[in-house]
Structure 1
Amino acid sequence: MEKKTNYSYIGIAFIILVFGILFIPKIVDRISNGDIIRTESRSDSASERKTKAEPLAFIENNGIKRQVPNFSFTNQNGKIITNKDYLGKVYVIEFFFTTCPTICPRMNANLVQIQNAFKEFENFGVASFTINPKHDTPDVLKAYAERYGIINPNWHFLTGEKEAIYKLANEGFYIYAAENEDVLGGFEHSGNFALIDQKGYIRSRKDEYGNPIIYYKGVVSEREKVGDDGEKEEISLLKEDIKKLLNE
């Protein structure tokens, strides 16, 4: 009886040995190739499919998808830039002025952070329109761009006729901009960004009720999370949606 038990142990040990010889090298090889956790891979793939299956909304007026209006302005290098120069690129729109003492420095710091996050993409850009073109000449804009560390060749700081810029802001994008000598800095404007796809359409994600948010709040940083007035940051959302449009 004792010998039979010993034979059983020997048989079990032999099976374990054969299993180790045959299968352990394969398991090690799967680990080396990053293919060991199948459930996580399936979960990641499902998440990625869900993201791709939910494209950003188009902004519409009376059923017509809104595109960037035609514009033509001079950039910080003295070159004429039009809306056609941005075709084929995903880009962010802002309205600002270089002497702004309030929200503009925060907005542009956030845009620099976005610039750095997408520095590998040749088809990402920014269009910054000054609402104080009398002061913000190409030379002034160039110095401003250098001060902020602008390295993206598709980030243009644009100046031109004041009436054309204000019409573009208030009627083209519905992003408020106005001259007001009673406010700090002499001008007031929205702190929102607009996101444009590669075909020139204004795009955004939808809110919890299924409505387009239209704009992205540009003042509160991703690091701050929440502003002094309780406003939540949307820079992280903007980054996610830029990536989505770049992959369209």
Structure 2
Amino acid sequence: MNKKYTYVWVSLIVLIFGIIVIPKIVDRMSSGTVVQNDRLNGAVPESDDELGYILLNGQKRKVPSFSFINQDSVVVTDKDYLGKVYVVDFFFTRCPSICPVMTTNLVSLQNTFKDSKNFGIASFSITPEFDTPSVLRQYAQKYEIDTSVWNLLTGDKDGIYELANAGFNIFAAEMPEVPGGFEHSGLFALVDKEGYLRSRMDKFGNPIVYYRGAILEQDKTNDHGETEEISILRTDIKKLLQE
């Protein structure tokens, strides 16, 4: 083929690629999906009814081992949750902002699955020096938390921060300049009966990884236009309970 025509065809293909593909890549970058996919990839489920696994370095990510005490001063470990579908969050009882919303949403989930023996919740305090078992018991009473299925956990501070930031990749840090003196993400993690982190997929086939816990379900959206995800979390819990 004449080189002149070869160059024309190559230029045409490049032009078509730029028109069709590049805008989609830019859109995914602006929405954060490319970054999220690079950080924590998820296995594509076999069907739309299944939830994906969260992958790290090609391996299904499992909840790391943990051991803390609950509101009744009883030692609770990750092994106590095996066989249960459960939700994990990080909070503190004196939190003046998102924690009351998060706890209210979790109470809603607790009440939805009150008849299920295979559902649980684990809430880890990021201010364990203040959130003693007695303080956690008072918090449980205030929000009508069913402690037979929901553990409010406290203990070694470094261990809790390691679990949050490295174990779950859910941000938590001391920040004296913010209300309450601590910053955390307000995300919920979903764990299956075998201890694996699970989530539904977004429209690009990537796992959403975590569920927004700091928007009340009845509010639908927050001031930033983000939608609540408690309703979809409830649906996904039901799916895992049936596995």
Task: Give the TM-score band, short-chain normalised.
Answer: 0.7 to 0.9
1:64 pairs with 28, 37, 59, which one? 59
**Unaligned segments of structure 1, at least 5 residues:** 1-50
Structure 1 residue 229 displacement after superposition: 1.6
**Unaligned segments of structure 2, at least 5 residues:** 1-45
1:157 counterpart = 2:134: no
1:139 counterpart = 2:130: no
Structure 1 residue 52 displacement after superposition: 7.5
Distance in 2 between the 1:229 and 1:153 partners? 36
The equivalent of 1:116 in structure 2 is: 111
Computed over aligned residues only, the root mean square deviation of the Cα atoms, in angstroms, reads 1.2
The residue type equivalent to 1:190 in the other structure is S
Given that 1:52 and 1:244 are in contact with CA atoms closer than 8 Å, whether structure 2 keeps it comes out as no
Displacement over 6 Å in runs of 4+: none
1:229 counterpart = 2:231: no
Distance in 1 between the 2:48 and 2:209 partners? 20
Map Cα deviations across residues 42-99 of structure 1 (whole Å, 9 max, x no partner). Answer: xxxxxxxxx9862100000111000000000000011000000000000000000000
Distance in 2 between the 1:90 and 1:187 partners? 28
1:246 counterpart = 2:228: no
The equivalent of 1:41 in structure 2 is: none
Distance in 1 between the 2:47 and 2:238 partners? 11
The residue type equivalent to 2:186 in the other structure is G
The equivalent of 2:165 in structure 1 is: 170
Given that 2:192 and 2:198 are in contact with CA atoms closer than 8 Å, whether structure 1 keeps it comes out as yes
Given that 2:92 and 2:125 are in contact with CA atoms closer than 8 Å, whether structure 1 keeps it comes out as yes
1:202 counterpart = 2:197: yes
Larger radius of gyration: 1
The equivalent of 2:87 in structure 1 is: 92
The residue type equivalent to 2:79 in the other structure is K
Please give the residue correspondences for 1:20-35 in structure 2 after superposition, counting only pairs within 5 Å. none
Given that 1:119 and 1:152 are in contact with CA atoms closer than 8 Å, whether structure 2 keeps it comes out as no
1:54 counterpart = 2:49: yes
Structure 1 residue 173 displacement after superposition: 0.3
1:181 pairs with 176, 181, 188, which one? 176
The residue type equivalent to 1:127 in the other structure is A
Please state whether the residue corresponding to 1:203 is helix, strand or coil.
strand
Distance in 2 between the 1:207 and 1:53 partners? 11
The equivalent of 2:11 in structure 1 is: none
Q: TM-score, normalised by structure 2?
A: 0.80
Q: TM-score, normalised by structure 1?
A: 0.78
2:98 pairs with 103, 108, 118, which one? 103
Structure 1 residue 183 displacement after superposition: 0.8
Name the count of aligned residue pairs.
198
The residue type equivalent to 1:163 in the other structure is D
- Of stretches 85-94 and 146-155 in structure 1, the one that deviates more from structure 2 is 146-155
Structure 1 residue 154 displacement after superposition: 1.9
